[in-house]
């Protein structure tokens, strides 16, 4: 296993520069338009597919990078370009991670390619976990999956919300309750194939930020999926449920993470990298503005009040990146998050993005508050990082519980 390094190797640098070029030349010029349209930027996704940036092969290469830095490097550069368009490009990845984390090799090989399609016919996928009454409180999930043994089918009923690509996806990965008595331990993940009757799009949300990314409700009404659409397979599920039932009466029994949490734990450092990208973009805009904007006969960066803000912003961006890289390397190395390092990286990076983008607006003054300058959009986009895939409050709870070993509430 490679030692942890602060330096990307030559191949990684080449990939980083390639992604940066796409972000700069294709994403940034289109960012304001798609933010205003609040629509999925299919032409941009197709351009990404044409060059291999939106493809299973590319993300598999980054996912299996032995240093662990492939995914965070990719996320930072794309979200440096524009958060809304970037989320449209990488949103499929959360569903893919859901399959990779919980599925069999056959399921991975069957379904993940269908999530992306190809350059001539691009597809997207959706991971559906949150519900109207079950966001951070995953134990409150109500979507049910009932096994019909006679037909070897699972029947899904419920409503999911805040689903990226929900309703427009080719493949939906749905987390549902299979044993209500086990709470969050009684969940499982299911593939809903393209065109399955009973799945429909509910409300499409009009959002504060990341407006180029499609977010909607997904309604499941007697949705029947074949038995082999249960990720991991029924024998594995039955074994896990039996173990969990036994754990309720046996002290010290092994605890198994539920399907949704396994996906989120794997993706939290990647979300931190997204936040780093947005924060870095805002810092760079503010730095350039401060060097060229003159007041009282001199550039405003000559004032300590501005210069010190920029010094803090850069320091915070770099610190956030280091936390993300550490967690990503640890995950790739198979090292346990004994201090909740994954949650630490997501917490600090997401809070940094909100803080740095707000400071960027302050440095640009009135211009920063207008849509003529991108920091206004970056600030709106940054708000999501402290909310999705576990709010900042949930990250702090995870960290505190891990450090203390106590059931802090």
- Tokens representing 399 are 């960290």
**Cβ–Cβ < 8 Å for 143, 158:** yes
Beta pairing partners, 125: 171
Arithmetic mean of pLDDT over the chain: 94
Taking domain 126-247, whether its CATH number is 2.40.110.10 is answered by yes
The CATH classification number of 10-122 equals 1.10.540.10
The pLDDT value recorded for residue 251 is: 42
Residues 329-335 have a mean pLDDT of 93
- Class of domain 259-404 as given by CATH: mainly alpha
For residue 1, what pLDDT band results from cuts at 50, 70 and 90?
A: low
Predicted confidence (pLDDT) at residue 208 exceeds the cutoff of 60: yes
| Separation between Cα atoms, residue 194 and residue 125, nearest integer Å | 10
pLDDT one-digit tens code per residue, 262-312: 556 667 999 999 999 999 999 999 999 999 999 999 999 999 999 999 999
Higher-confidence residue of 130 and 252: namely 130
pLDDT one-digit tens code per residue, 25-83: 999 999 999 999 999 999 999 999 999 999 989 999 998 999 999 999 999 999 999 99
Active site residue 288: no
The pLDDT value recorded for residue 247 is: 75
For residue 248, what pLDDT band results from cuts at 50, 70 and 90?
A: low
Element (H, E) at 139: none
The pLDDT value recorded for residue 254 is: 37
The pLDDT value recorded for residue 263 is: 56
Predicted confidence (pLDDT) at residue 2 exceeds the cutoff of 90: no
> In the chain, how many H helices and how many E strands?
13, 11
Q: Which of 76, 77, 376, 389 is catalytic?
A: 389
For residue 256, what pLDDT band results from cuts at 50, 70 and 90?
A: very low
pLDDT one-digit tens code per residue, 302-322: 999 999 999 999 999 999 999
DSSP reduced 3-state for 336: coil
The CA–CA distances, whole Å, from 325 to 17, 277, 347, 358, 398 equal: 18, 13, 14, 24, 19
Domain coordinates of the chain in residue numbers? 10-122, 126-247, 259-404
**Cβ–Cβ < 8 Å for 174, 128:** yes
| Separation between Cα atoms, residue 238 and residue 243, nearest integer Å | 9
Q: CA angle 201-205-209, nearest 5°?
A: 140
- Tokens representing 336 are 């346990």
Task: Centre a 10 Å sphere on the Cβ of residue 208 and count the other Cβ atoms it contains.
Answer: 11
The pLDDT value recorded for residue 223 is: 98
Half-sphere exposure of 2 (CA within 13 A, CB side): 17
pTM, rounded to two decimals: 0.93
């Amino acid at each position: 296993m490679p030692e942890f390094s602060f330096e990307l190797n030559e191949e990684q640098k080449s990939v980083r520069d390639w992604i940066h070029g796409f972000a700069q030349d294709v994403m940034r010029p289109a960012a304001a338009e798609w933010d205003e349209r609040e629509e999925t930027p299919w032409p941009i996704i197709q351009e990404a597919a044409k060059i291999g940036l939106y493809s299973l092969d590319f993300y598999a290469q980054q996912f299996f990078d032995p240093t662990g830095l492939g995914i965070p490097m990719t996320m930072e550069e794309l979200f440096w370009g524009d958060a809304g368009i970037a989320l449209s490009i990488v949103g499929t990845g959360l569903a893919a991670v859901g399959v990779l984390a919980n599925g069999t090799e056959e399921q991975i090989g069957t379904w993940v390619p269908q999530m992306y399609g190809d350059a001539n016919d691009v597809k997207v996928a959706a991971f559906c976990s949150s519900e109207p009454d079950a966001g951070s409180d995953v134990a409150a999930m109500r979507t049910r999956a009932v096994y019909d043994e006679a037909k070897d089918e699972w029947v899904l009923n419920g409503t999911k919300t805040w689903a990226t690509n929900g309703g427009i996806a080719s493949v939906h990965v749905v987390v549902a309750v299979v044993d209500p008595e086990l709470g969050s331990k009684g969940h499982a993940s299911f593939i809903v194939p393209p065109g399955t009757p009973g799945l429909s799009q509910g409300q499409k949300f009009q959002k504060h930020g990341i407006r180029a990314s499609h977010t909607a409700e997904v309604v499941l009404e007697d949705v029947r999926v074949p038995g082999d659409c249960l990720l991991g397979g029924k024998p594995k599920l039955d074994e896990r449920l039996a173990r969990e039932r036994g754990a309720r009466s046996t002290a010290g029994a092994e605890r198994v993470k539920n399907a949704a949490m396994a996906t989120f734990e794997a993706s939290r450092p990647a979300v931190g990298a997204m936040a780093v990208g947005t924060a870095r973009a805002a810092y760079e805009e503010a730095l350039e503005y401060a060097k060229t904007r003159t007041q009282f006969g001199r550039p405003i960066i000559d004032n300590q009040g501005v210069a010190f803000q920029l010094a803090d912003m850069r320091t915070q961006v770099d610190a956030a990146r280091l936390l993300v890289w550490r967690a990503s390397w640890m995950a790739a190395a198979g090292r346990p998050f004994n201090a909740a390092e994954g949650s630490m990286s997501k917490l600090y990076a997401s809070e940094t993005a909100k803080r740095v983008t707000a400071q960027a607006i302050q440095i640009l003054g009135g211009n920063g508050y207008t849509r003529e300058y991108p920091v206004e959009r970056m600030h709106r986009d940054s708000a999501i990082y402290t909310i999705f895939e576990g709010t900042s409050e949930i990250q702090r709870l995870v960290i505190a519980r891990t450090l203390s070993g106590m059931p802090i509430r």
